[in-house]
Amino acid sequence: MLKTTLRSGIATLAVLVTAPMAMSQDLMIGLRAGPDSIDPHWSTLGSQAEALRHVFDTLVDVDEKLQLKPGLAVSWEAIDETTWEFKMREGVKFHDGSDFDAEDVKFSIERIPEVTGPMPMTLYTKYVDTVEVVDPMTLRITTKGMAPSLPNDFTRLFVVPSETGMEARNEEFNSGEKAIGTGPYTFVSWQPKGDLVLSRFDDYWDGAPAWENVTRREIADDAARVAALKSGQVDLINYVPATDYLSMQNDNSLETFVSDSVYILNIAPSVKDEEPQPIKVNGVEVDGNPLQDLRVRKALDLAINRDVLVNVVLEGLGKPANQLMPEGFFGYSDKLGVREYDIEQAKALLAEAGYPDGFEIDFTCTNNRVPGDAVVCEALAQMWSRLGLTVNAQALNGTVYFPAAAREEYTMTMSAWGTLTGEAAYTYGALTHTKDPEKGFGNFNRSGYSNPEFDKVFYEGSQTLDTEARRKLYEDASFIAMEDRALIPTVILQTVWAAKADTLDMTPRVDQETRAYAITPE
């Protein structure tokens, strides 16, 4: 009896002590990147969408694994080959108290081409031909050609009230005058590269979020962000560097959350007839392009020890990859096996291809575009040197790398690719399809890869409205491109969030977004 009283007494005391903590309604987040503008139609930048999601809702939403779920639209269906119909959610209010309806969506679609910047959002409306408001809760969209991925595109379609007016620009949004959405938080203030201050919207359709006041502070420097968390200036940070992650494991006052990301480091060997930077044997340029030989590409692949990349080079913050997308994404192939490390077989293949003593090759990577790209680049060069190659590895800043890569000046590159839409069309359509500006495929195919078999299966998929049939075709297309080593996937990068221990709970997202309304106090 006494024991129980004592115990409940302690429990009460504990509640009393921790109560002010649990009641805390303010959340301060330190983030590596923030928005560039408060206008939700200005730019496709990931950190922009992530921040503005708090103020504006999208027509379609995505879950933690990037698979579609209802947003402002409760359902959608293709009623014929070129028409999609979206049903709007009832009872949704804007922050100014006005009602949401299909007119607002129509206005938002039409506003995008008027205001969008050098990272254009027209990307998400490129298939839209006409927009028709059937009734206040029904929107019908006719597309240019067949567009099975339209609902995916609309996961970035932010909705503003139709009363916003076509004249409203950046300034009106940044000042807060037009920053009116249906999102879980209302806009309070923002400074470029500074704080985005938000306040809870009590009439939010999905239930008011837990935190009353949220500040999203941009702290670009990794060390500064970690220091801000440790000194108690912020409650949560994203993109914890690998070295700090290791030390945080031994720190009881901090808690970490790890998640796979959509980013996979992949190698792109140029298979053009004439490689951009010469490949040499004994200082003499070889005839033809060795990388055109599948045996050479396989040898390069087999010489990669992905376990070492993950456990040693990335300090555990990664996973071996066998294709360009993480598991569970639309079009992920289950048939591709684990990529084994087999240096003997690699050497044999290389000899069979006519290069028993290897060759000298240039290898160019991005530097600090994603965590670990430069170190993986160097590690790969070493692994290939065991194969007998002489690899001139170079990790370049994105400002230099991307324009030169676009001019196709490199023989072999490595960079990160993120399947931000959660489905195969985005990734394989841009990277491994034959370059075809007419159809809009192969825009990022810098290696000159072209496989009619892949193109056929992929194109069939892009013209199939039935979801399951399309999934099957994309799985087959993934399989073909990966077996052919069109690109060589290496590792899936993982990212880490850190918070003060026992203060909050969150489910990490594969797209790495930090959504304040999905974080709950513990």
Partner 1 sequence: MFGYLVGRVAQAVVVVFVMSIIVFVGVYAIGNPIDVMIDPGATAEIRENLIRQYGLDQPLWRQYFTFVGNVLQGDLGRSMVYNTSVTGLVFSRLPATLELVLVSVTIASVIGIPAGLYAGYKPDSIAAKLIMALSVLGFSVPTFWIGMLLIMAFAVELGWLPSGGRGEVAQFLWFKTSLATTNGWEHVIMPAINLSLFKMGLLIRLTRAGMVEAMGAEYVRFARAQGLPDRQIVFSHILRNISIPVITVFGLELGSTLAFAVVTETVFNWPGVGKLIIDSILQLDRPVMVSYLVMVVILFVMINLIVDLIYARLDPRVRLKGGS
Which residues here bind partner 1, judged by CB under 8 A?
36-37, 39, 42-44, 117-120, 122-123, 126, 169-171, 174, 191-194, 217-221, 223-224, 227-228, 230-233, 397-400, 402-404, 406-407, 417, 421, 426, 430, 437, 440, 443-444
Q: Which is nearer to partner 1, 75 or 397 (CB)?
A: 397
Q: Which is nearer to partner 1, 336 or 404 (CB)?
A: 404
Token pair listed for 47? 């950190």
Q: What are phi and psi of 184, to 5 degrees?
A: -70, -15
- Least Å distance between CB 493 and partner 1? 16
- Least Å distance between CB 398 and partner 1? 6
- Least Å distance between CB 308 and partner 1? 29
Q: Which is nearer to partner 1, 228 or 317 (CB)?
A: 228
Q: Which is nearer to partner 1, 232 or 354 (CB)?
A: 232
Q: Which is nearer to partner 1, 8 or 397 (CB)?
A: 397
Q: Positive or negative CA dihedral for 221, 225, 228, 231?
A: negative
Token pair listed for 271? 């298979």
Give the C-alpha separation, 92 to 164, whole Å.
Answer: 17
Q: Positive or negative CA dihedral for 138, 142, 148, 149?
A: negative
Give the C-alpha separation, 419 to 425, whole Å.
Answer: 9
- Least Å distance between CB 292 and partner 1? 25
Q: Which is nearer to partner 1, 182 or 366 (CB)?
A: 366
Q: Which is nearer to partner 1, 154 or 417 (CB)?
A: 417
Whether the Cβ atoms of residue 105 and residue 59 lie closer than 8 Å to each other:
yes
- Least Å distance between CB 224 and partner 1? 5
> Strand, coil or helix: what is 361?
strand
> Strand, coil or helix: what is 301?
helix
Q: Positive or negative CA dihedral for 55, 56, 60, 66?
A: negative
Residues 388-391: contacts with CB under 8 Å, at least 24 apart: 388/347, 388/350, 388/356, 388/357, 388/358, 389/358, 389/359, 389/360, 389/361, 390/358, 390/359, 390/360, 390/361, 391/360, 391/361, 391/362, 391/363
Q: Which is nearer to partner 1, 316 or 440 (CB)?
A: 440
